[in-house]
Structure 1
Amino acid sequence: MSIEREDLMICPARVTLDAAQMAFFDGLPTKAPSVQAELGCELEQGHEGSHAALGQQVDTTMWWIQWTLSASEINPYTWCPATHLPDTERRDDKDCALFNGHPGSHSSAKRSWQASEAA
């Protein structure tokens, strides 16, 4: 197993979702895989502000879990508009995989279930 360079630059923070948060995700109308109870921050290591992990995507809305040492919440966002190729028709590994307005660098980490949902 190889370690991608980008993996070394991702924040190591983790969060465990509570029962109410899991129930929220279970109630969303989507065909995406079920949400894991423990998620890792997807932002750049050393980022400003709260940590963030994608919980679920429903149509054009992405539900992100954001947390600090004292609290966590679920917030709706749209995709970050940054892309390496202009005028792309679908999201792929060349588009930023984070939410619009995220702190730090853009991430081009591809999520396989997002690509299959977009197809």
Structure 2
Amino acid sequence: MFSRAKSGYPLRMFECFENAGVARTWPQCGRQSSITASEHATLNGLPDRLGHVVPVAACELAAGHPGSHVAFVVAAEDGDHWWWLRWDARHRHLIRLDPCERTATDEDVPDDCLLPSGHHGPHSFEL
């Protein structure tokens, strides 16, 4: 399975574009939500966690997406399990989702989508 940490990708998807001069086709949603103390404790307790749990999650889907917001929060099991925060105005859940299996093939170097499987809208390599 593809691993963010093992691939050299940043552990936060939006960091892929920071100072990279990459033109985005669609703007990201970016809606933010603070990680609660309970969520933080749950995530910190995951086995073989990679990196630290961020205090604020930012939605990584394209702006104007339908449904809930979703943000990558941490990888565990040496990068094989990706944990996400999914939230809307009334609900929030920590969930383990596999990454999208789509890869951009129109570039010199293949680029994997770093969003969760089944996500709405464009792939991360299109953002």
Report the TM-score, using the length of structure 2 for normalisation: 0.71
Q: Distance in 2 between matches of 1:68 and 1:6?
A: 25
Distance change >3 Å, CA 67–CA 82, structure 1 → 2: same
User: 1:9 is matched with which residue?
Assistant: 27
User: 1:15 Cα deviation (Å)?
Assistant: 0.5
Distance change >3 Å, CA 36–CA 5, structure 1 → 2: same
Q: Which runs of 5+ in 1 are unaligned?
A: 86-91, 110-119
Identity of aligned residues (%): 28
User: 2:6 is matched with which residue?
Assistant: none
**AA of the residue aligned to 1:33:** G
Q: Which of the pair has the greater relative contact order for Cα pairs under 8 Å at 6+ separation?
A: 2
Q: Which runs of 5+ in 2 are unaligned?
A: 1-18
Query: Which residue of 91, 107, 117 corresponds with 2:124?
Result: 107
User: 2:57 is matched with which residue?
Assistant: 39
Matches within 5 A, 1:72-111: 72-85=92-105, 94-108=111-125
**AA of the residue aligned to 2:39:** Q
User: 1:38 Cα deviation (Å)?
Assistant: 0.7
Distance change >3 Å, CA 61–CA 39, structure 1 → 2: same
User: 1:5 Cα deviation (Å)?
Assistant: 2.8
Determine if contact 2:84/2:97 at 8 Å carries over to the other structure: yes
Poorly superposed stretches of 4+, deviation over 6 Å: none
Aligned residue-pair number: 103
**AA of the residue aligned to 1:98:** L
